[in-house]
């Protein structure tokens, strides 16, 4: 199955009018993986940072949004992208990692 998943231990804010396609994963935390003697799933959280998806943004199919990211209002994230850094408002990003493709007209 290709379900969307939102995992928050602190804060994931999704503003009005956001479009989220199938298979999107949004998380405000990541597990540590420093100890080879402990399963990764059992290691403590390494990073917790809030996520914000701005008003009217659009996340394409299978997008991954990492901890600490803000996606600006009206931004578009292309399918299969991994967003590690903030995305400015009214722009298109895509890729792994996501990179600026173009600025949308205002």
Per-chain mean pLDDT for the chain: 95
Identify the active-site residue in 17, 19, 31, 32.
Answer: 31
The whole-model pTM stands at 0.92
Task: Kindly give, in sequence order, each residue whose CB lies less than 8 Å from that of residue 36, ignoring residues fewer than 6 positions away.
Answer: none
The reply to whether 29 belongs to the active site is no
> Residues 56-85: pLDDT tens digits?
999 999 999 999 999 999 999 999 999 999
For 41, list phi and psi in degrees, rounded to 5.
-60, -25
Residue 1 pLDDT exceeds 70: no
Q: What pLDDT was estimated at residue 41?
A: 87
Q: What pLDDT was estimated at residue 36?
A: 94
> Which tokens sit at 88?
């400015």
Measured CA to CA, the distance from residue 34 to residue 53 in angstroms comes to 30
At 31, the pLDDT band (50, 70, 90 cuts) reads: confident
């Amino acid at each position: 199955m290709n379900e969307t998943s939102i995992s928050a231990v602190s804060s994931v804010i999704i503003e009005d009018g956001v479009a989220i396609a199938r298979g999107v994963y949004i998380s405000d935390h990541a597990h540590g993986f420093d100890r080879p003697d402990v399963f990764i799933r059992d290691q403590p959280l390494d990073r917790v940072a809030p996520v914000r998806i701005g008003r009217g943004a659009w996340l394409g199919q299978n997008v991954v949004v990492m901890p600490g990211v803000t996606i600006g209002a009206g931004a578009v994230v292309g399918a299969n992208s991994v967003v590690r850094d903030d995305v400015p408002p009214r722009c298109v990003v895509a890729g792994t990692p996501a990179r600026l493709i173009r600025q949308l007209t205002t």
